[in-house]
A and B are shown apart, each in its own frame.
Chain A
Amino acid sequence: LAKTTQPISMDSYEGQEVNITCSHNNIATNDYITWYQQFPSQGPRFIIQGYKTKVTNEVASLFIPADRKSSTLSLPRVSLSDTAVYYCLVGDEAAGNKLTFGGGTRVLVKP
């Protein structure tokens, strides 16, 4: 499974855009890139997933360059409730492969 590296923490203010970059130099051809959000004492919540280029949903956007060695999660106009830990995962989840979590990025949104 490809190892991921992401910043330990980030601070932002309400209304700003937050961009979290994740490095995954050893990503394999069949690997997807998935981001989860986790609040204290709750289970991780699926945010977005992509394979290449750009993916956008109602919550976030995921930018993946052509070499796929990194990805950037973009959270537009964050609010206080977006304060959480964000995990970047890389792997081929088909056929029931396990998820390997790193330490995640702690995002603190200030008023």
Chain B
Amino acid sequence: DAGVTQSPTHLIKTRGQQVTLRCSPKSGHDTVSWYQQALGQGPQFIFQYYEEEERQRGNFPDRFSGHQFPNYSSELNVNALLLGDSALYLCASSLQGPPSQYFGPGTRLTVL
């Protein structure tokens, strides 16, 4: 049973560019959440998708957007990249109800 997978593993972009990160949830899970983790800090919630709609959103600007597909996989898009967007981006999947989330390995984004 595959867990949460994310691609790519690492990514280097320059300021002003756009990036798309991808996530496949754990088998059977229908909810995907995205988190940003800066070096030395805990993960910060970006947003959550369920039934292809954004259900909750953290304190992130509109440059951060996402999408969930019918197969429950998800994408995180970040436009107009800033140096401060450099971080580990984590995807977590869960089911509605059971109170636990399973995290993927993350995508390390470096903005130069």
Are B56 and A97 neighbours in the complex by a CB distance under 8 Å? yes
- Classify chain A's interface size: 20 to 34
Main secondary structure of the interface of B (DSSP, over half): strand
Are B96 and A98 neighbours in the complex by a CB distance under 8 Å? no
Are B43 and A49 neighbours in the complex by a CB distance under 8 Å? no
Are A43 and B41 neighbours in the complex by a CB distance under 8 Å? no
Are A87 and B42 neighbours in the complex by a CB distance under 8 Å? yes
Return the contact of A42 from the options B41, B42, B105 (Cβ within 8 A): B105
What is the distance, in angstroms, from A109's C-beta to the closest C-beta of chain B? 20
Q: Which residue of chain B is the closest to A32 with respect to CB atoms?
A: B99
Are A46 and B48 neighbours in the complex by a CB distance under 8 Å? no
Return the contact of A96 from the options B42, B58, B94, B104 (Cβ within 8 A): B94
A13 to B91, CA, bound (A): 33
Q: Which residues of B contact A102 (CB under 8 A)?
A: 42
A42 to B41, CA, bound (A): 13
Are B42 and A92 neighbours in the complex by a CB distance under 8 Å? no
Is A100 an interface residue when CB atoms closer than 8 A count as contact? yes
Are A92 and B4 neighbours in the complex by a CB distance under 8 Å? no
Q: Which residues of A contact B45 (CB under 8 A)?
A: 98-100
21 A–B contact pairs at CB < 8 A?
A32-B99, A41-B106, A41-B108, A42-B106, A43-B106, A44-B103, A45-B103, A46-B102, A49-B100, A87-B42, A93-B98, A94-B97, A96-B31, A96-B48, A96-B94, A97-B56, A98-B48, A99-B43, A99-B92, A101-B35, A101-B43
